[in-house]
């Protein structure tokens, strides 16, 4: 196979430093090939969990032969990792699996393709399609990273930008017609499962899906919680500060209007959004909406709500938290109607445009564009996100509590003060081979280890077996027990 390199000498040195190698040319007929799909928000956590499954013979904390493959070409080291917006929505990880991956994978060369394209529900949709579900949100086509072992037409480039794991960039993506896998050693045409921000039932009710979980597989709580927050454009952030009397020189932004280059995000300088006000923006089909709901000085001015499509776990979390949907449906009622579309596109309500986006990266890109244009935008993002050097968004307080009081953006949630968080679940398809089931079991175990998910915006609940007393900055005091509609308890 012929590969281009951004720095041949550095790339060769990178490969030589590993006692093994699992490069594209070494993926052969004996290599196990599996595919997982689902939530985009916890991509970095899933990548970290896969790293934990790979063989680490010298126990230095790094896999012996892990190689990472990314969809897009990036130019800075900070973007050369799964979960970074500029790296794309598709990845693959190739390594020799260790004992944590289960007996059916241990010691085997394995490629794990990872799709985090349109949100959590894509963990389930391929299997719903094959089970005969007829629903606009269920498609028979799912995108995946291109075949990384192809001998022709392969655009993967080994980059010298990162020294953690050898990484190929620019691999591209392709649409795959969902079909049962022919072999665990063949290029996969069906995922074995995936991770969702919220459990199947919420997605099923939100999207009016008929099939039950038992029709396609099973899921378990990972006992890993993920925080979410309201991200806004810089001009909106500053307008809210001014409306709320946060006017000290110490809290001032750098620049003004479309020329704002930085805002002060310390808790003392952070503006607040109430649950009620954001619910009024995104629910109830009400008219007379404008940026004035968030800052009275902006009354009548346009605002864009950058929400996610209906298959997104981030959107499912937002629905549950702000609209009580679908938790208060049925005889109890009380849920607000969600505004906007479950598909990509925009809906206008008076001066508020609600735009539905496929991925979290799209939300960040659009809010950044609003900052650059000097306009007003807001949307929900997982707290695993933080602005890169090229992104311009900032989180607000919710109901007076900052989600970003610490660098890991999780301590107020861990302590029980910040309430906008949900527990992720792992779905395993009924059709998954033993190797795939072992992979998903291993991922759950790895995700539940506080040292693995010691990532921004993520924390482990006490039901993982770890305690807050022993890990006060990793393990929460509260838990939901795998039920997103439940209030968290301690």
Tell whether the model's pLDDT for residue 9 goes beyond 90. Answer: no
Enter the DSSP assignment of 269.
G
Tell whether the model's pLDDT for residue 78 goes beyond 60. Answer: yes
Residue 161, Cβ neighbours under 10 Å: how many?
Answer: 17
Tell whether the model's pLDDT for residue 8 goes beyond 60. Answer: no
Q: Is 435 helix (H, G, I), strand (E, B) or coil?
A: helix
Enter the DSSP assignment of 135.
-
Report the distance separating Cα 15 and Cα 6, nearest Å: 14
Q: Is 362 helix (H, G, I), strand (E, B) or coil?
A: helix
Q: Are 26 and 95 in contact (CB under 8 A)?
A: no
| Residue 416 parent element (H or E) | none
DSSP string across 94-120: EEEB-GGG-TTTTT-EEEEEEE-SS-G
Which two three-digit tokens encode residue 18? Answer: 């590993």
Tell whether the model's pLDDT for residue 7 goes beyond 50. Answer: no
Which pLDDT value is given to residue 163? Answer: 84
Tell whether the model's pLDDT for residue 353 goes beyond 60. Answer: yes
List beta partners, residue 21: none
Report the distance separating Cα 314 and Cα 320, nearest Å: 10
Mean pLDDT for the chain?
Answer: 92
Length of the chain: 490
Which pLDDT value is given to residue 16? Answer: 36
Which pLDDT value is given to residue 21? Answer: 56
In sequence order, which residues have a C-beta less than 8 Å from that of residue 214 and are 6 or more positions away?
A: none
**Block residue for tokens 């969902």:** 178
Enter the DSSP assignment of 337.
P
Q: Are 212 and 181 in contact (CB under 8 A)?
A: no
Tell whether the model's pLDDT for residue 54 goes beyond 60. Answer: yes
Which two three-digit tokens encode residue 81? Answer: 């990792």
Identify the burial level of 274 via C-beta atoms within 10 angstroms of its C-beta, where 0-12 means exposed, 13-18 middle and 19 or more buried.
middle
Which pLDDT value is given to residue 2? Answer: 38
Which pLDDT value is given to residue 23? Answer: 87
Report the distance separating Cα 406 and Cα 404, nearest Å: 5
Q: What is the pLDDT of residues 187-226, one digit of tens each?
A: 999 999 999 999 999 999 999 999 999 999 999 999 999 9
The residues spanned by each domain of the chain are 4-224+423-464, 227-414
Percent of the chain with pLDDT over 70: 95
The Cα-based distances of 321 to 64, 317, 441 in angstroms read 42, 6, 29
pLDDT band at 330 (very low <50, low <70, confident <90, very high): confident
């Amino acid at each position: 196979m012929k590969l281009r390199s951004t720095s041949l000498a550095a790339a060769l040195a990178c490969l030589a430093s590993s006692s093994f190698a699992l490069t594209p040319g070494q993926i052969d007929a004996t290599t196990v090939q599996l595919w997982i799909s689902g939530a985009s928000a916890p991509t970095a956590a899933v990548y970290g969990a896969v790293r934990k499954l790979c063989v680490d013979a010298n126990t230095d904390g790094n896999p012996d032969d892990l190689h990472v493959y990314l969809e897009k070409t990036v130019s800075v080291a900070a973007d050369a990792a799964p979960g970074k917006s500029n790296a794309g929505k598709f990845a693959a990880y190739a390594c020799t699996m260790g004992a944590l991956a289960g007996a059916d994978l241990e010691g085997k060369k394995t490629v794990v393709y990872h799709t985090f394209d349109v949100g959590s529900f894509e963990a389930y949709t391929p299997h719903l399609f094959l089970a005969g579900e007829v629903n606009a949100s269920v498609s028979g086509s799912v995108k995946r990273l291109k075949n990384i072992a192809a001998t022709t037409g392969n655009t993967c480039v080994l980059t010298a930008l990162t020294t953690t794991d050898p990484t190929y960039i620019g691999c591209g993506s392709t649409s795959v017609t969902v079909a049962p896998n022919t072999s665990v050693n063949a290029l996969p045409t069906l995922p074995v499962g995936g991770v969702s921000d919220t459990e199947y039932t919420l997605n099923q009710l939100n999207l009016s899906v008929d099939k039950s979980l038992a029709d396609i597989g099973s899921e378990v709580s990972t006992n890993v919680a993920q925080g979410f927050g309201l991200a806004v454009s810089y001009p909106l952030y500053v307008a809210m500060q001014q409306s709320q009397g946060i006017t000290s020189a110490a809290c001032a932004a750098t620049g003004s209007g479309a020329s704002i280059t930085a805002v002060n995000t310390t808790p003392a300088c952070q503006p607040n959004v109430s649950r009620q006000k954001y619910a009024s923006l995104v629910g109830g089909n009400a008219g007379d909406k404008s940026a004035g709901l968030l800052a009275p000085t902006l009354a009548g001015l346009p605002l864009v709500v950058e929400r996610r499509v209906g298959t997104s776990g981030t959107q499912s979390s937002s629905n549950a938290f702000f609209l009580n949907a679908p938790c208060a449906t049925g005889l109890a009622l009380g849920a607000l109607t969600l505004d906007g579309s479950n598909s990509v596109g925009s809906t206008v309500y008076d001066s508020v445009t609600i735009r539905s986006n496929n991925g979290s990266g799209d939300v960040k890109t659009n809010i950044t564009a609003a900052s650059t244009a000097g306009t007003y935008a807001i949307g929900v993002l997982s707290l695993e996100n933080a602005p890169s050097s090229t992104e311009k968004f900032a989180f607000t307080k919710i109901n007076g509590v900052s989600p970003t009081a610490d660098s890991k953006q999780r301590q107020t949630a861990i302590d029980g003060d910040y309430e906008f968080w949900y527990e992720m679940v792992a779905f395993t398809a009924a059709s998954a081979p033993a190797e795939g089931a072992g992979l998903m079991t291993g991922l759950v175990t790895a995700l539940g280890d506080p040292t693995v998910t010691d990532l921004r915006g993520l924390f482990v609940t006490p039901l993982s077996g770890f305690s807050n007393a022993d890990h006060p900055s990793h393990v929460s005091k509260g838990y939901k027990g795998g039920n997103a509609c439940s209030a968290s308890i301690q």
